[in-house]
Amino acid sequence: MVGDCECSDHGRCTILTQDQWDLVRRLRLEALRDSPHAFLGDLAQESSRSEIGWRRTFESASWHAVFVAEDPVAIARSVSYPALRDERYVESLWVREKNRHDHIARLLLDSIVTEALAEGREFLRLSVLRSNAEAVDTMGHLGFSASVPDRTTDLEICLEWRIAT
């Protein structure tokens, strides 16, 4: 699934294609520089990834971006794992600091929900580092209400949002 959706007055969501790998690279590296405490990813390692490596990040996954006045301000990556047929897993989600209270995370999640429902998924799930209390709180406000005990660790809390009724 590829395309744009005018999500609201706040911005435009786009599911990116492999040909937009450089945009994904730029936003992902910006996220790691801006919020290293929020991700398990390593800036040095991801900075050295080749074009082929970045294109591979699209395999079995989708990258969603939000643009405000044509400026990319947020990115998220979600995956559908064959063994977990009831869910779409949000691997990463980042919004530029200046846009964090502009409903941008909601736009990203709405785009991922649309994709997940089209695939017949019942849940969105994601893991948040326990040390990132702000993100845990934000995800609660956005619809993630239950933790998944068998996928929660000492390091991360796995949260879920039932999207199908």
Outline where 36-127 has alpha helix (H): 43-47, 51-56, 104-118
pLDDT band at 64 (very low <50, low <70, confident <90, very high): very high
Number of domains in the chain: 1
Residues 77-107 have pLDDT tens digits of: 999 998 999 999 999 999 999 999 899 999 9
- CATH number assigned to the domain comprising residue 13: 3.40.630.30
CA distance 36 to 50: 21
* pLDDT surpasses 70 at 9: no
3-state class (DSSP) for residue 71? strand
pTM of the predicted model, to two decimals?
0.90
**Whole domain around residue 111: which residue ranges?**
3-162
